[in-house]
Chain A
Amino acid sequence: MIAVRLRYFFLWLLLLTSWHSFGQDFQSCVTENGRVSFVSEAPLEVIKAASASLKGAINIKQQTFLFILENATFKGFNSPLQQEHFHENYMETKRYPQTTFKGKIIETLEWKNGQSQTVRAKGILDLHGVKQERIIQATLVYEADRCRLIAGFNVLLDDHAIRIPKVVSKKIAQEIRIEVDAVMLPHQVSPEKADR
């Protein structure tokens, strides 16, 4: 696990270095408390949960990004038992503690205050230990000192080798809707802190 964290630490460093080197000419923006929620709408049960601990960075000049989510931070399940099943049976949080999405943004980012831009992020979504190449659409709303990232996409459990027992197949949808809402700040953050 240390190795994984170290790897991301270096990536983090890479993403942020340009900001450091270019000083005020902000090149990167980061979030530490982005919100991620998911909904599983199955015929018999709707499961929802959310996390407010999405960490991520976008290097605006290089158009690269990295988002990391600690799976253990998901909260708001219907019951503690459901939460336990989520972590132990499906996400296997102990084995795969993090979900990451990293890659490049296809469209050229144009930061214009008060405007929004729809971009597509092409990268590798590493969820439940299975890496999937994904192209995910996101909207960036630019303001003077921040930008808000809004994205929604679906994840097929099958794609990430998350097996649902037949008994509960009516309670868990095959396709999970994921919504992301994060405020990204062009704010200097020490790399150590970001990787906390």
Chain B
Amino acid sequence: MKGSNATARIAGFFLAVMLPVFSATQGLFSQQLFNRNFQPGYQIDGNKITAMTEDSRGFVFLGVRGGVYGFDGVAYHPLPFPDSLKHYDVSMLADAGQQLFAGLSSGALLCWTNTGMDQLPELLMQAGAPVTDMVFNSRHTWISTYGNGIWFRSEVDDKSLFTKVDKLPDESVYDLHADDAGKLWAATDGGLLQISSVDGAFEMAVFGPTEGLPDLLVTCLYLDEENQLWLGFQDGGFCSFDPVSHQAQRIKAAENWQAGRVIKIIRLENYLWMSTAGQGMLAYHLYHRQLMAWPENETAELPQRIFQLTRSTLRGFWMAGPEKIIWTTGRQIELHKQINGLNSEATTALFADSRNRLWWSNEGGLFVCDNTGIELTKARKIALGPTGKATYASSIWEDSKGNIWVGTLDEGVFMLDGRDFSIQHFTEKDGLVNNNVLSVSGKGNQLWFATLGGLSVAEINPAGKLVFLQGQAAGAGTNYIYDVLADHRNNLWIATDGQGIRKVEKGRHVEVLPDSLRREVVYTLEEAADGAIWAAIPEKGLVRLKNDSLWWLRASDGLSSTTITSIIQTASPYLIAVGYDGFNLINAWTGKVVRGSKHYGLPSAQSGLGVVTNAADGTVFIGTIEGILRLESIGDLANREPLIQLRRITANLEAIDYSRPISLLPDQRQVSVSFAGLWYPQPEQIRFRVSLSGRDTTTFETRDQTLHFGKLDAGVYKLGIQEADAENNGEALEIDFTIRKPLWQQTWFIILFLIAGAGLIYYWIKAREAKINARQRLLREKSEFEYRNLRSQVNPHFLFNSFSTLIALIENQGNDAVAYVEKLSDFFRQILEHRDDTFITISEELQLLQTYLFLQQKRYGKGFVARIELPDAVLPTLIPPMTLQMLAENALKHNIASKDNPLELRIYFEENMVVVSNKLQLRSSKEASTGLGLRNIRERYQTFAGLQPTIEQTDKSFRVLLPPIKSH
């Protein structure tokens, strides 16, 4: 690395890293809590909160006078509440999975059942005194009241009725706990009460001062994960109680209790949290056995009276007061702007030593304080050097003998005796390569100073004196060294400016690792628990080196900033990387990154090189512009992530039951999904990545907690909702649903439809064919009839008979013959006239018939009598032409017509029918009958009028009944 380029880079580094140190403003010198304050204020009616609970899904419910509100970190949703109970306080809220219970100050117990909670609650009972608590175990539901004892309901036999527990030693009960062994523990004004159910009856035991409790009035209780019961008292502070051996264990820190009533007690991690009537929140560290006011400095943020402490599913707890509720991680993240009055902002170096002391430095100088594990005390300033010229440290480190080494910019190195802080000063005069020291580290008797002049190596000789080895360490290769690390195999790793990472094995062999990093700037190095080396490459991210393999972690993997200035291995598998924009918790096994600042609403963390340190008790300290961050329970911090909970799915505005697989109707194409992203630390920060895959596919990011999908096509869908930051890592809410195809798109329907269509077409063709056939036959018959008629016109018998008749007429009566010929020609003319008509009127037909009858009359004389008796009304109705003529002809054809036995033909109207009737006197010699005549009549009636003539034949008569056809 040559010339101005490198110098410029170094200058840039100092500008970026160190400048904020000098420009940092002096903020409020108070300890800041990490917590989240919710003040419902005007958003809830009668805005005094009287009860609070978080349900199993992470939703919060708040009780006020005459109302209950659901809360998800963003909005307050009122639950329906009976008007008649509006003027009572909700004194208790309890969640039981699908049910939410509310106890009122009047003693009423309400229950909302369905998941939507949009129905009025059911009034389950009246306990007669303010309801204080409600607990459930597999056998019973228990309710406590302040003034009217304990009530229970069996969950096994009868689920409806609550019964009061008889003969309680005291009726004033504050708090309950039901264990799975069937025992109930109750905090009462008459002591700690244990109720166990034996053979259906209750057995009671009371524990008070005679059993070792510090006070008779037990005001709260809590059973922790280690099956220890913690009790809070009216005046006696708190103590633990073994629920099996019934041994009370007094707590030394609770002697001479001055904080008044313990209102609630819970345990979270290593702390017991107590809200007290006299001194607000108190925290008791179970292993350090120290009681502390919390927060240390009185702040206005906590409510005056905290009546409820509730564990949260997001690994924190709630404090509820009348005006606000606060979600907090307790002491998991704390920001110390000052320690015992000494400024701890804009830290340039930070180190926790083996004697439980915390060292820090900023422009105010070098400071040290004692870290008791729960608090930082006895902070004092350490003057560096007799001149006091050196103001602040760039690096602090402790050697194996407990000496503290302090590297400075421009002032060389100071060594402080671990016990008496006596100071030795080493500069270039003593052999240090350069007075600008960026980091100090070492192993055994060796010490390495990374300086702007290169790496300086020193040894503490047996006499205890520091001897600088001449020259630079072999192969350091550059004048600019940011960090030196000795791994567990005693290999030395060197972070260079522009020449990558150098590894010195066994003091000599030098490797430049790896090729791809040959030209990189490396700010800092750390060995992880698995022996991998992590290196920070500015503007690129972090790289993990193990067995020649490289693994990058970049901004796209969730890293807050690509420029990381400090890395530390903390509780395995977690690494903490501090960069320009917050700190990152990295799970070294999975690569999952949790961003400190953004996720928790913390200030930016960047401060300098080496500003993160592990204390012996597992707490981590990080130097930031705004103060020193103290982190506890790293695992909890890393595993906390937003909960995404489904609220409601609607299709076409209709609620859908999502407890079963969702299958929507074809017209339910407007799908709305409403959900909640529960993230109480920073509810307004949360964004969601929504991905819909299936027939329609879409991916987008949103802050909305209600998604609308309009006009979805039928198909199978998968909807995934995930917190946007948690990309690839966070738990996603997944909803599968199917929109069924409409009937006409379903395969079976299409096949059926085709079959039916084919059938229809086939039938239609068939019908058409039949119709055509019928018409053809009719036409054929018609022509046949015409032919027959024509033929009959030239029927030789008819003609011969007519001519014989004519001859007889000419011989006898000349005049009649003329008339006869006229009638004959008339008859043929009429036949020709009506040949093409479908119907003619009956009067026309009668004319034709008369002509015919005249002709036949002349022939048969008295042997044939025709009587036509039709009323005038029938005459205009229609009839197929030649019908009556043909019937008359048929009658003459088949019957005997003689003087002795005359044939009588009658045509008359009867029962709305035209009847053609003749006496039946069949000829012995039958003329061949084709039967065509009658069939022809019948079919012409059927085809052209849709009517059916009736033919009646008895022994004596032959009748044809013709229905009259109305003319249109």
Task: Write the residues of chain A forming the contact surface with B, with a CB cutoff of 8 angstroms.
Answer: 106, 120, 122, 133, 135, 137, 156, 158, 174-175
Tell me whether A135 and B147 are in contact (CB under 8 A). no
B217 in the interface (beta carbon within 8 A): yes
B217 partner, pick from A106, A158, A174, beta carbons under 8 A: A106
> Could you tell me the distance between the alpha carbons of A174 and B322 in the complex, rounded to whole angstroms?
13
> Could you tell me the distance between the alpha carbons of A158 and B217 in the complex, rounded to whole angstroms?
25
Tell me whether B235 and A106 are in contact (CB under 8 A). no
Tell me whether A120 and B235 are in contact (CB under 8 A). yes
With contacts A106-B216, A120-B217, A158-B322 taken as known, whether A135 is within 8 angstroms of B234 at the C-beta atoms is: yes
Instruction: Pick the 10 closest A-B CB pairs, nearest first.
Output: A135-B234, A122-B189, A106-B216, A133-B146, A137-B235, A135-B217, A120-B234, A106-B217, A133-B147, A106-B189
> Could you tell me the distance between the alpha carbons of A137 and B48 in the complex, rounded to whole angstroms?
28
Residues of the B chain whose Cβ atoms lie less than 8 Å from the Cβ of A106: 189, 216-217
CB distance from A173 to the nearest CB of B (A): 11
Residues of the B chain whose Cβ atoms lie less than 8 Å from the Cβ of A120: 217, 234-235
CB-contacts of B280-330 with A (<8 A): 304-305, 322
CB within 8 Å: A-B pair count: 21
Count of chain B residues with a beta carbon within 8 Å of a chain A beta carbon? 13
> Could you tell me the distance between the alpha carbons of A135 and B261 in the complex, rounded to whole angstroms?
10
CB-contacts of B210-224 with A (<8 A): 216-217
Residues of the B chain whose Cβ atoms lie less than 8 Å from the Cβ of A174: 304
Please list 12 pairs of residues, one from A and one from B, whose beta carbons are closer than 8 Å in the complex, sorted by A's number.
A106-B189, A106-B216, A120-B217, A120-B234, A122-B189, A133-B147, A133-B172, A135-B189, A156-B305, A158-B322, A174-B304, A175-B304
Extra A-B contacts (12), CB below 8 Å, given A106-B189, A133-B147, A135-B261 = A120-B217, A120-B235, A122-B172, A122-B189, A133-B172, A135-B189, A135-B217, A135-B234, A156-B305, A158-B48, A174-B304, A175-B304
> Could you tell me the distance between the alpha carbons of A156 and B321 in the complex, rounded to whole angstroms?
14
CB distance from B925 to the nearest CB of A (A): 130
Secondary structure of the A side of the interface?
strand
Residues of the B chain whose Cβ atoms lie less than 8 Å from the Cβ of A135: 189, 217, 234, 261
Residues of the A chain whose Cβ atoms lie less than 8 Å from the Cβ of B189: 106, 122, 135
CB distance from A158 to the nearest CB of B (A): 7
CB distance from A178 to the nearest CB of B (A): 15
Residue of A nearest to B147 (CB): A133
> Could you tell me the distance between the alpha carbons of A137 and B278 in the complex, rounded to whole angstroms?
13
CB distance from B192 to the nearest CB of A (A): 15
Residues of the B chain whose Cβ atoms lie less than 8 Å from the Cβ of A158: 48, 322
CB distance from A196 to the nearest CB of B (A): 32
Residues of the A chain whose Cβ atoms lie less than 8 Å from the Cβ of B235: 120, 137
CB distance from A122 to the nearest CB of B (A): 6
Residue of A nearest to B278 (CB): A154
> Could you tell me the distance between the alpha carbons of A139 and B623 in the complex, rounded to whole angstroms?
52
CB distance from B325 to the nearest CB of A (A): 17
The 0/1 profile, CB within 8 Å of A marked 1, for residues 160-197 of chain B is 00000000000010000000000000000100000000
Residues of the B chain whose Cβ atoms lie less than 8 Å from the Cβ of A133: 146-147, 172
Residue of B nearest to A124 (CB): B147
> Could you tell me the distance between the alpha carbons of A184 and B310 in the complex, rounded to whole angstroms?
45
Residues of the A chain whose Cβ atoms lie less than 8 Å from the Cβ of B305: 156
The 0/1 profile, CB within 8 Å of A marked 1, for residues 111-153 of chain B is 0000000000000000000000000000000000011000000
Residues of the A chain whose Cβ atoms lie less than 8 Å from the Cβ of B234: 120, 135
CB-contacts of B234-256 with A (<8 A): 234-235
CB distance from A156 to the nearest CB of B (A): 8
CB distance from B595 to the nearest CB of A (A): 41
CB-contacts of B43-82 with A (<8 A): 48
CB-contacts of B246-279 with A (<8 A): 261
> Could you tell me the distance between the alpha carbons of A137 and B305 in the complex, rounded to whole angstroms?
19
Residue of B nearest to A156 (CB): B305
CB distance from B881 to the nearest CB of A (A): 111
> Could you tell me the distance between the alpha carbons of A120 and B217 in the complex, rounded to whole angstroms?
10
> Could you tell me the distance between the alpha carbons of A128 and B695 in the complex, rounded to whole angstroms?
69
CB distance from A152 to the nearest CB of B (A): 12
Residues of the A chain whose Cβ atoms lie less than 8 Å from the Cβ of B322: 158
> Could you tell me the distance between the alpha carbons of A142 and B639 in the complex, rounded to whole angstroms?
61
CB distance from B260 to the nearest CB of A (A): 9
Residues of the A chain whose Cβ atoms lie less than 8 Å from the Cβ of B172: 122, 133
> Could you tell me the distance between the alpha carbons of A174 and B146 in the complex, rounded to whole angstroms?
25
Residue of A nearest to B235 (CB): A137
> Could you tell me the distance between the alpha carbons of A173 and B234 in the complex, rounded to whole angstroms?
25
Residue of B nearest to A135 (CB): B234
> Could you tell me the distance between the alpha carbons of A135 and B146 in the complex, rounded to whole angstroms?
13
Residues of the B chain whose Cβ atoms lie less than 8 Å from the Cβ of A122: 172, 189
Residues of the A chain whose Cβ atoms lie less than 8 Å from the Cβ of B146: 133
> Could you tell me the distance between the alpha carbons of A92 and B225 in the complex, rounded to whole angstroms?
51
Residues of the A chain whose Cβ atoms lie less than 8 Å from the Cβ of B147: 133
Residue of A nearest to B305 (CB): A156
> Could you tell me the distance between the alpha carbons of A137 and B216 in the complex, rounded to whole angstroms?
13
> Could you tell me the distance between the alpha carbons of A107 and B235 in the complex, rounded to whole angstroms?
13
Residue of B nearest to A118 (CB): B235
> Could you tell me the distance between the alpha carbons of A156 and B48 in the complex, rounded to whole angstroms?
14
CB-contacts of B571-595 with A (<8 A): none
The 0/1 profile, CB within 8 Å of A marked 1, for residues 447-475 of chain B is 00000000000000000000000000000
> Could you tell me the distance between the alpha carbons of A175 and B277 in the complex, rounded to whole angstroms?
12
CB distance from B105 to the nearest CB of A (A): 11
CB distance from A102 to the nearest CB of B (A): 15
CB distance from A164 to the nearest CB of B (A): 14
Task: Name the residue in B147, B172, B189, B322 with the highest tally of chain A Cβ atoms < 10 Å from its Cβ.
Answer: B189
> Could you tell me the distance between the alpha carbons of A106 and B304 in the complex, rounded to whole angstroms?
28
> Could you tell me the distance between the alpha carbons of A175 and B147 in the complex, rounded to whole angstroms?
25
Residues of the B chain whose Cβ atoms lie less than 8 Å from the Cβ of A156: 305
Residues of the A chain whose Cβ atoms lie less than 8 Å from the Cβ of B261: 135
> Could you tell me the distance between the alpha carbons of A158 and B322 in the complex, rounded to whole angstroms?
10
> Could you tell me the distance between the alpha carbons of A122 and B234 in the complex, rounded to whole angstroms?
11
> Could you tell me the distance between the alpha carbons of A133 and B174 in the complex, rounded to whole angstroms?
12
> Could you tell me the distance between the alpha carbons of A142 and B235 in the complex, rounded to whole angstroms?
22
CB distance from B217 to the nearest CB of A (A): 7
CB distance from B298 to the nearest CB of A (A): 15
Residues of the B chain whose Cβ atoms lie less than 8 Å from the Cβ of A137: 235
CB distance from A174 to the nearest CB of B (A): 8
Residues of the A chain whose Cβ atoms lie less than 8 Å from the Cβ of B48: 158
> Could you tell me the distance between the alpha carbons of A58 and B189 in the complex, rounded to whole angstroms?
20
Residue of A nearest to B129 (CB): A133
> Could you tell me the distance between the alpha carbons of A66 and B322 in the complex, rounded to whole angstroms?
31
CB distance from A177 to the nearest CB of B (A): 12
> Could you tell me the distance between the alpha carbons of A175 and B260 in the complex, rounded to whole angstroms?
15
CB distance from B585 to the nearest CB of A (A): 42
> Could you tell me the distance between the alpha carbons of A142 and B217 in the complex, rounded to whole angstroms?
24
> Could you tell me the distance between the alpha carbons of A175 and B322 in the complex, rounded to whole angstroms?
14
> Could you tell me the distance between the alpha carbons of A156 and B234 in the complex, rounded to whole angstroms?
18
CB distance from A153 to the nearest CB of B (A): 10
> Could you tell me the distance between the alpha carbons of A80 and B121 in the complex, rounded to whole angstroms?
52
Residue of A nearest to B261 (CB): A135
CB distance from A63 to the nearest CB of B (A): 13
CB-contacts of B487-505 with A (<8 A): none
Residues of the A chain whose Cβ atoms lie less than 8 Å from the Cβ of B304: 174-175
> Could you tell me the distance between the alpha carbons of A9 and B235 in the complex, rounded to whole angstroms?
33
CB distance from A140 to the nearest CB of B (A): 16
Residues of the A chain whose Cβ atoms lie less than 8 Å from the Cβ of B217: 106, 120, 135
CB distance from B571 to the nearest CB of A (A): 44
Residue of A nearest to B48 (CB): A158
